[in-house]
Structure 1
Amino acid sequence: MSFRDEEAVGRDLQKPFLHTGSWYKMGSRTSSTMGSSAQVMRDGAVSVLFCVLVAALGPIQFGFTCGYSSPTQEAIIKDLKLSLSEFSVFGSLSNVGAMVGAIASGQIAEYIGRKGVPVYIAEIAPQNMRGSLGSVNQLSVTIGIMLAYLLGLFVNWRVLAILGILPCTVLIPGLFFIPESPRWLAKMGMTDEFETSLQVLRGFDTDISLEVQEIKRSVASSGKRVTIRFADLKRKRYWFPLTIGIGLLALQQLSGINGVLFYATIIFQNAGIQSSSAATVGLGAIQVIATGITTWLVDKSGRRLLLIISSSLMTVSLLVVSVAFYLEGVVSADSHLQNILATVSVVGLVVMVIGFSLGLGPIPWLIMSEILPVNIKSLAGSVATMTNWLTAWGITMTANLLLSWSSGGTFTIYMVVTAFTVFFTALWVPETKGRTLEEIQSSFR
């Protein structure tokens, strides 16, 4: 791929930029004349933050969908006369939709750009903010889940379904007012738009020459080819990053988190909690807070350490929950010990969700967006995402049935998975904090 020299780029930046649906009319690096849309985005941090907030509406929408089945399970089963198995199919349908979307999204992202897909945030974020901003995706999912839990206390399941479309009504028009990923533009050979987009994202007073050259070097070897084949993923140089990305996303779901979040109200009822709906809302709020803390920590303590702490905490809490449920089955229903065990199981579930939110929730998505090379990111990201949602579908499909079989046994299975995740992370997952995307991806070569 050939790129124009720096002087030519300086002249080209004076051309209008229409790729994102807004006009960014710019002069040179030191003096620029901007349209109204660019004036709003003059400061780099404000620009990136605005883009992230718009992109975050998609995960909020999905989180709302994930949380929908928990507060509505009893009412839907009663109104539609569904069996437990039939409701499990209903509860898992969002994961089926996510799987179908994952299959198509990679190639679509190659043709129309990264906006609206998870890798977008990682590709536009500055190096020192990439961890925090990349974690916003999972934070937004937890906000959506909590909103579904909370609104489910006040409205019936039909009204709740209608309220769930609101984030998308803002997201869709918002996508027209954010710039495309500079790395995608560079990969596609759109030199004018590439530099303009990066300048908008970093601020018009920022010297972007070093980042421009680094991105150029990264994409120069990949060319402009749009169609990526599965055969390309078989190259030995990609095995390690693919194993890490796909492995973490599969283990994330095999931990049983979606089974807990989708059916939290019923789990709390089984544990003997009378105000199970209120407890579910509290669980959702705690998850948002814990994920918010991770968003702040991830660029300070690093990805790998948080993953190990997260998985270890989940393993211990799941062990406590499984023991509590086993003991509940052998003690008298009206004994004081039964109430203690119910409290222990609830606290254990809360700690499990906190542990998940501290690492295993947001970080696998972030690491996937960091370690996959730009030339295979679309297809490899689709495969990893499809694996994640296929696993999530299996968990949500079987969680209710497993819980009716044995609550203690169910959480024991999940505990074994999180224990394996600790070893998987310690042995194979690299630390990506403080490194550019290009440095991370070149290290695998």
Structure 2
Amino acid sequence: MGVVDDSMLTHKVRQPLLSNHSSGGGKKKGTKGHTGSPDFAVACTLLVALGPISFGFSLGYSSPTQQEIINTLNLTISQFSMFGSLVNLGAMVGAIVSGKIADYVGRKGALVVASVPHLAGWIITVFCEDVTSLYVGRVLVGFGVGIISFAVPIYIAEIAPRQLRGFLGTFNQLAVTIGIMLAYLGGLFLQWRLLAATGIIPCSLLLLGLFFIPESPRWLAKAGGHDEELVMALQALRGKDADITTEMNEIKHGVEESMMQPEASLGDLCDRKLFRPLLIAVGLQVLQQFGGINAIMFYAGAIFKSAGFANANIASFGLGSIQVFMTAVAASLMDKAGRRLLLMVSAGGMAVSCFLVGFSFYLQEQLTHPSHMDTFVSMLALISLLVYIISFSLGMGAIPWILMSEVFPSHVRGLAGSLATLANWSCAWAVTMTFNLMLEWSASGSFWVFAAECALTVVFVVAIVPETRGRTLEEIEAFFK
């Protein structure tokens, strides 16, 4: 397939006239053309970002606790690898049902549903005394994570103003990195059961906060029978003095077209019109995971220990801190540089750094006795991993989730998004389950495999992925039609 012509995305959707609406108390909308304040949309985004913080904390938890859990519960390396990977297995199940749940009870409702098993899983982990209960707790945590990983980016995309959608969409990945960093930080000071108890906090705050934010206007329009709530939600998200007429027209027109379609089924995903959006969303999720990110974040401590670091957990915390900072930088660039450029720079940097990490392990394998080269090899591994995290944070971390929430028509967004989320967690499970075994096979070869996959990602983005910044969801839908 040839390189995308981004200018085609200027195709506009038809905007039928919308009669004036008034919110609850009958207040008039502001003067037409006044854009209002996006502050409330930002506040809502920050609130739901507690979900991805829980998500990230779950991913980072296995790294600093590995040796302690193995010693306390008498686990083998294979059993601990199973424990680490079960969060992905639970997330796969959550991903399968996430779209249906989010379409049936709303984006907020889906987050409520996700919170209950997630909290139960952490509580079981705190009190577990054997490997079975440890596994059960991990699966429940993962089930909640699977729904969260779908519902949060969809909610953010559907409430964000078009000019801020990329910026706010990056908050999802930023929150994941904060969660990972907090797990690494807590691992330096807290025993593994206390660290698991800490995992209860962000999801509990999310559950409380959901009572104070509106449902997604696009879901309200699609569900029907929520006209007053729809107007109030959109007015609150755009500012009390904002004119919401044009955006309301676009949403209503998009929903009208969507309602003309039968209820989405798996067969609908075979429609030729959906081939490219599906290829983009699923392809980027698969490529993100086969680039090795979850393997590195799950087992950062073990990787640094293998590379010769005396205090691997401190090095892991440094890695997590760098990821938070660079994801924040990416947020500021998302609506300026655009999705495609950041994806290409990100995947290219990951390819180079993975090659260098593999090369550092290759050098280590060649050293038969301690020498002055040991310090060089360790520093090469550390610097290369830092470059990998910086590169990942610039694009491949956030953008696959942003594009997943942008490219699908509204009538299949739930089902297709579930499929893309399932692809991500399936690949994450495969990578994290096999990574310790890959290291035993060949540490250098493992990272060179990741490097080749990251290089393939650059080719995929150049050939397949269009630029979507600055476009409404309805305009993007029209482009793919």
Q: Same fold (TM over 0.5)?
A: yes
2:106 maps to 1:113: yes
The alignment partner of 1:272 has SS state of: coil
Equivalent position to 1:166, from 201, 205, 218: 201
Aligned residues: 421
- Where 1:96 maps in the other structure, the secondary structure is helix
**Alpha-carbon distance in structure 2 between the residues aligned to 1:47 and 1:414:** 40
> SS in structure 2 opposite 1:430?
coil
Please say if residues 23 and 231 of structure 2, whose CA atoms lie closer than 8 Å, have aligned partners that are also in contact.
no
Question: Gaps spanning 5+ residues in structure 1: where?
Answer: 16-24, 32-41
In the other structure, the counterpart of 1:38 is none
Q: Which residue of 2 aligns with 1:279?
A: 315
Identify the match of residue 230 of structure 1 among 235, 249, 266: 266
Corresponding position of 1:97: 90
- Equivalent position amino acid for 2:216 in 1: S
Q: Secondary structure at the match of 2:259?
A: coil
CA deviation string 1:106-129 (max 9, x = no partner): 011111112231200011000110
**Conserved? CA contact 1:107–1:227, under 8 Å:** no
**Which of 105, 119, 144 is the aligned partner of 2:179?**
144
Q: 1:228 aligns to what SS in structure 2?
A: coil
Match of 1:80 among 73, 82, 85: 73
Question: Is the contact made by 1:255 and 1:418 (CA closer than 8 Å) also made in structure 2?
Answer: yes
Q: Which runs of 5+ in 2 are unaligned?
A: 1-14, 112-150
Which deviates further from its counterpart, 239-248 or 325-334?
325-334
- Residue 195 of structure 1: which of 214, 220, 231 is its match? 231
Which residue does 2:475 correspond to in 1? 439
- Structure 1 residue 333: deviation in Å? 3.3
Equivalent in 39, 43, 59 of residue 46 of structure 1: 39
Q: Relative to structure 1, is the Cα distance of residues 108 and 381 closer, same or farther in structure 2, using a 3 angstrom cutoff?
A: same
Check the 8 A contact 2:285/2:400 in 1, yes or no.
yes
1:110 and 1:226 in contact (8 A); partners too: no
Q: Secondary structure at the match of 2:370?
A: coil
Distance in 1 between residues matched to 2:475 and 2:467, nearest whole Å: 12
Shift of residue 397, structure 1, vs aligned partner: 0.4
Offset at 1:192?
2.3
1:19 corresponding residue in structure 2:
none
State the partner residue of 1:374.
410
Inter-partner Cα distance in structure 2 for 1:292 and 1:88: 31
User: CA deviation digits over 1:173-224, x for unaligned, max 9?
Assistant: 2111111111111122233222221111001101111111111222211118
Task: Tell me if the contact between 2:327 and 2:393 (Cα under 8 Å) persists in the aligned partners.
Answer: yes
CA distance in 2, matches of 1:197, 1:284: 36
Deviation string, structure 1 residues 344-371 (Cα, Å, up to 9, x no partner): 0111111111111110010100011111
Query: Residue 381 of structure 2: which of 332, 345, 348 is its match?
Result: 345
**Percentage of matched positions with identical amino acids:** 50
Three-state SS of the structure 2 residue aligned to 1:114 is: helix
User: Aligned to 1:376, what secondary structure does the other structure show?
Assistant: helix
Aligned partner of 1:244 in structure 2 is: 280
Give the structure-2-normalised TM-score: 0.85
Residue of structure 1 equivalent to 2:168: 133
Q: Which moved more, 1:431-440 or 1:216-225?
A: 216-225
Aligned equivalents of 1:385, 1:376: Cα separation in 2: 14
Matching residue within 47, 50, 75 for 1:57:
50
> Cα RMSD (Å) of the superposition?
1.8
Question: Which residues in structure 2 correspond to 1:295-306 (within 5 Å)?
Answer: 295-306=331-342
Alpha-carbon spacing, 1:434–1:14, altered in 2? closer, same or farther (3 Å): closer
Q: Distance in 2 between matches of 1:329 and 1:110?
A: 52
Specify whether residues 246 and 344 from structure 1 end up closer, same or farther in structure 2 by C-alpha distance, changes over 3 A only. same
Deviations 1:1-41 (A, max 9, x none): xx99744x52xx344xxxxxxxxx4522149xxxxxxxxxx
Q: Distance in 2 between matches of 1:93 and 1:414?
A: 22
Q: Which amino acid aligns with 2:155?
A: Y
Q: Give the whole-Å Cα distance in 2 for the aligned partners of 1:183 and 1:224.
A: 16
Q: Residue deviations 1:282-311, cap 9 Å, x none?
A: 000000001010011101100000000000
Cα distance, 1:227 vs structure 2: 4.4
TM-superposed deviation, 1:152? 0.5
Tell me whether 147-156 or 230-239 shows the greater mean CA deviation: 230-239
Residue by residue over 1:39-71, the C-alpha shift from the partner in whole angstroms, topping out at 9 and shown as x without a partner, is: xxx973221111101110000001001000000
Q: Secondary structure at the match of 2:320?
A: helix
Decide whether aligned partners of structure 1 residues 409 and 288 sit closer, same or farther in structure 2, where only a CA change above 3 A counts: same
Q: What's 1:270 paired with?
A: 306
C-alpha contact (below 8 Å) 2:355/2:447 kept by paired residues: yes
Distance 1:403 1:80 in 2: 24
Aligned with residue 362 of structure 1, among 380, 388, 398: 398
| Aligned CA distance change for structure 1 residues 26 and 201 (closer, same or farther; 3 Å) | farther
What CA deviation, in whole Å up to 9, does each residue of 1:396-444 have, x standing for no partner? 1011111122110110111111010000001100011111111111101
User: Comparing both structures, which one devotes a greater share of its residues to helix?
Assistant: 2
Amino acid at match of 2:375: N
Q: Distance in 2 between matches of 1:226 and 1:60?
A: 36
Q: Deviations over 1:236-262 (max 9, x none)?
A: 100100000000011100101100000
